[in-house]
Structure 1
Amino acid sequence: MIRVILTDIEGTTSSISFVHEVLFPYAAENMAEFVRDGHQSSLEISEQLDAVAEVSGVERKDIEGLIDVLLEWIREDRKETSLKALQGMLWQKGYQEGAFRGHVYADAADYLQRWHDRGLRLFVYSSGSVKAQKLIFGFSESGDLTPFFSGYFDTRVGAKREPAAYQTILNELGVEAGTVMFLSDVEAELEAAASVGMKTVLLVRDGNKPSASSHPVAEDFSEVDALLQAR
């Protein structure tokens, strides 16, 4: 029996376009000023810049060089933990100032509440930082959805296409793999989750279902729920 739902965000609970057409451009437009203003006054920003310098090889004192690295990583959509952390800080500012609201599909918002009320434990696993995850659900167009979640995971547990990351999540949750269902729009992530014993569902939000998949396929969360009920 499924007792835990682990869900991706982009392309699963939320539109890919919101991330790429709203969040990423906002970060690109504001990152330089954000770093220049905060690199001396904010320990949180400073710690992430330490990590950027270590990974990139740019000298820590070269703030403009580090900014150039961050902007390049944004263009590449690089899954670098330090970048994701800084983006999360920036997006918090944007959400709080009302620059945008988090996009969550109406069916996702509906079933997140239904599953929570039914006693399922809900968790997020996304390449975006935990801060960014909490923001998209906390400031969503459907209101604050964070009360429905029991926890959040990001790339600090590992890469989403690596089985070890899902085993780490299982270890932290202390549950059997067969009681967890992972939802994602990326087959490689589902393969990694399935390899450690998790149940999986492929979300296809554009309606173009694949001709073949080794995973159950759903176009929205109502179809995911039907799969849950059938188990």
Structure 2
Amino acid sequence: MTDMAETKPAWIVLDIEGTTSSTSSVHVGLYDYARPRLAVWIDTHPDDPEVQDAVAQTRAEAGLPESASTDEVVQVLHDWMDGDVKATPLKSLQGQIWAAGFAEGDLIAHFFPDVPPALRSWHSGGVRLAVFSSGSVKSQQPWFRHSDAGDLAILIEQYFDTVNAGPKREAVSYHRIAGALGCAGDRLLFLSDVPAELDAASQAGWGTTGVRRPGEPSQNADFGAHPTVASFDELTFKES
């Protein structure tokens, strides 16, 4: 738990899964939506460069021949989903499918009840907001735009994923994000439910807070020296 107000950061960078939204809303809601649609999406978008790249990368990473069928490619993608592998081609295809689902009204993003009012309060108080998630930017944007609390994307200025920033457990990714935001690490606060991600951000000179949500996989994780909260309501800031 935080026992005192932290100095107000210039930016708060948010993880999504387990931090702003339940793990089940991603793994059950989004994954179950994308899974049966992967083959159809690939076959109905043969000229889309992003789809072509994702299919080629999947074949290469799985050791499949270039002639491997859609069914063979999709089997690899399903295996990655089952193993929660953060593979870039999978994230790319999922992001496209989810974006279409949100646009069509098939999907609605779910946030913990304390999150929307906190984001609005921080934004109105002059704190700038960004997202860093392993899900593709194309999936992050509609997640915040089409939420059960209205359009939250109007509050978010920047989105980062493992393609434009790098792996979430490596300090270099947080240095890269700090550069993109034009801000020193000590003016940045990263909120995540994964201790290894917080460790990487801390190594890059960022402020960190662990999010220990009741009922989530990281509720009883060892966050080490990182301060923790169970709700965004517990985060208070003092002017620098």
CA–CA distance in structure 2, aligned partners of residues 211 and 158 of structure 1: 24
1:47 aligns with 2:53: yes
What residue in structure 1 maps to residue 83 of structure 2? 76
Q: 1:36 to 1:212 in 2, by over 3 A?
A: closer
Moved over 4 A (4+): 207-212
CA–CA distance in structure 1, aligned partners of residues 224 and 160 of structure 2: 26
What residue in structure 1 maps to residue 206 of structure 2? 198
Question: Residue 80 of structure 2: SS of its match in structure 1?
Answer: helix
Question: Residue 191 of structure 1: SS of its match in structure 2?
Answer: helix
1:57 aligns with 2:63: yes
- For structure 2, which runs of at least 5 residues remain unmatched after alignment? 1-6
User: Of 136, 158, 164, which aligns to 2:143?
Assistant: 136
What residue in structure 1 maps to residue 101 of structure 2? 94
Question: Residue 205 of structure 2: SS of its match in structure 1?
Answer: coil
Name the stretch that deviates more: 45-54 or 156-165: 45-54
Superposed CA deviations along residues 51-104 of structure 1, whole A, max 9, x for unmatched, are: 222222212332222111111111111111111010011112222222220011
CA–CA distance in structure 1, aligned partners of residues 203 and 182 of structure 2: 18
CA contact under 8 A between 2:195 and 2:222: conserved in structure 1?
no
Q: Which amino acid aligns with 1:168?
A: R
CA–CA distance in structure 1, aligned partners of residues 109 and 203 of structure 2: 32
The alignment's TM-score, normalised by the length of structure 2, stands at: 0.89
Q: 1:212 to 1:199 in 2, by over 3 A?
A: closer
CA–CA distance in structure 2, aligned partners of residues 78 and 137 of structure 1: 23
CA–CA distance in structure 2, aligned partners of residues 36 and 82 of structure 1: 15
The alignment's TM-score, normalised by the length of structure 1, stands at: 0.92
User: Of 150, 158, 167, which aligns to 1:159?
Assistant: 167
CA–CA distance in structure 1, aligned partners of residues 191 and 223 of structure 2: 17
Q: Percent identity?
A: 37
Q: Which amino acid aligns with 2:197?
A: E
CA–CA distance in structure 2, aligned partners of residues 8 and 31 of structure 1: 25
Superposed CA deviations along residues 122-161 of structure 1, whole A, max 9, x for unmatched, are: 1100000001111110111111111101100000121111
Q: When the two structures are aligned, how many residues end up with a matched partner?
A: 228
